[in-house]
Amino acid sequence: MQAKKDVRLDEAVPRYTSYPTAPHFHPGITGETVREWIAAIPDGDALSLYLHVPFCDRLCWFCACHTKQTRQYDPVAAYVTSLCREIETVGALVGGRAAVRAIHFGGGSPTMLAPADMHRLGGALHRAFVLAPDVEISVEIDPNDMTADRLDALAAIGMTRASLGVQDFDPRVQAAINREQSFESTRDVVDGLRARGVGSVNLDLLYGLPHQNFETLAATVAQALSLTPDRIALFGYAHVPWFKKHQTMIPEEALPGSRERYAQAQMAAGMIEAAGYVRIGLDHFARPDDAMAVAASEGRLKRNFQGYTEDACETLIGLGASSISRYRQGHAQNQPATGVYQRVVEDGGLPIVRGVAFTEEDRARGWVIENLMCNFAFDAREAKERFGAGAKPLVAIAAGLAQAAPDPVLARDGDVFVVPEHHRPLVRTVAARFDAYLETGQARHSVAV
């Protein structure tokens, strides 16, 4: 797949894991707001939970997540106590009216938790919420953290899916991003997970890293494929040193340019697809029989703060410092400062610091953006059925894009607007055309590819 000469590879746009995006959240959404939103959750509803652990025992320079390095475990144990308290508070507000269908542990590095603390969190969740019998529990894993007792603890809490951070196996690239991790240690963790009955393993890879080239990336992809993962995520490194100061440790002169990044992404994707994986959305791949691949083929793929998912729950409750929730009424984000977060939750409060309530226009634009990100298309007739007159300006935008010369980013097939295949690597830029907030904010974003 060749890049068109007029494709804007350097355009900086959001990743669209939400709409409106987080830079447009405001302090008008409070704990009292969220109490009302939780009270409005329908009886018999299905929930998803996200638990954030904002600590790492080392700081990877490429990372843009909300986390901090700590060499002392006492603050981590104290944080787990506070997280259990928030779980108790939110669980009481839900009151057993809804069952939890999915739980995701993210970070930071949730696998730096001591086994006893992982057990504590598992017990708190079971006491506070009604967990569906087939609840899916996924955990982000740093292979360098893993020991046999940590693997046993993850199995004991019912983990069904593991997502391992790999990034790149080349030693020079690893040194440049402060992430030393051997292929052998990664393989051992994958084997340990499968030996404990974990049914799904995902590997996260990055392109666009310092000193990365075709040869090193191809070698990494080949090694990753040799582990026969169920899923692979192929992300572009987001260089945002104005947002994450530790990224200034990465030598910018060693980063590939935009066209080389594009070529790296296409080469790696081609290797993964040639190995029998189905391409899903912008940057995910799965075995054809995987639940995400099936959801994509049936038009049920979703996108939330964890990226692509087959999770259809309309309510996602974020627990832990900086975590973001999505309710039917809007988004809400927890306090990012761990000390403030802990003081609020220990007093039985909800540590909400900002968010946004959806307008009808937000719902319509968000629906179009999610469909473009997941399906590379949206149906104008369905948009009109869902949103009535609110769909009219969005269809007009799409019609204008479909008529733009010389190479439109949307094609029209009856009522359906489709992103042509050669523009799909830049679907974020297409989605951005439907973002009413983008030109009004001051936020800076990573490049589209």
Q: How far apart are CA 107 and CA 121, in angstroms?
A: 15
Torsion angle in degrees (nearest 10) through CA of 97, 103, 108, 109: 130
Does 247 show up as a binding residue in the annotation? Answer: no
Does 11 show up as a binding residue in the annotation? Answer: no
Does 262 show up as a binding residue in the annotation? Answer: no
CB proximity list for 430: less than 8 A, separation 6 or greater = 372, 401, 409, 410, 419, 423
Does 238 show up as a binding residue in the annotation? Answer: yes
CB proximity list for 315: less than 8 A, separation 6 or greater = 41, 45, 46, 47, 48, 98, 325, 326, 327, 328
Peptide bond into 320 cis (omega under 30): no
Does 295 show up as a binding residue in the annotation? Answer: no
Whose tokens are 């791949």? That residue is 285
Does 73 show up as a binding residue in the annotation? Answer: no
Does 358 show up as a binding residue in the annotation? Answer: no
Q: How far apart are CA 363 and CA 378, in angstroms?
A: 14
Does 105 show up as a binding residue in the annotation? Answer: no
Q: How far apart are CA 406 and CA 404, in angstroms?
A: 6
Residue 359 identity: T
Does 107 show up as a binding residue in the annotation? Answer: yes
Does 204 show up as a binding residue in the annotation? Answer: yes
CB proximity list for 87: less than 8 A, separation 6 or greater = 121, 124, 125, 128, 129, 319
Q: How far apart are CA 361 and CA 306, in angstroms?
A: 24
Does 273 show up as a binding residue in the annotation? Answer: no
How far from 153 is each of 81, 142, 256, CA to CA, in Å?
17, 15, 40
Does 65 show up as a binding residue in the annotation? Answer: no
Does 317 show up as a binding residue in the annotation? Answer: no
Going by the annotation, the residues of the binding site for S-adenosyl-L-methionine are 50, 62-64, 107, 140, 167, 179, 204, 238, 324
Going by the annotation, the residues of the binding site are 50, 56, 60, 62-64, 107, 140, 167, 179, 204, 238, 324
Going by the annotation, the residues of the binding site for [4Fe-4S] cluster are 56, 60, 63
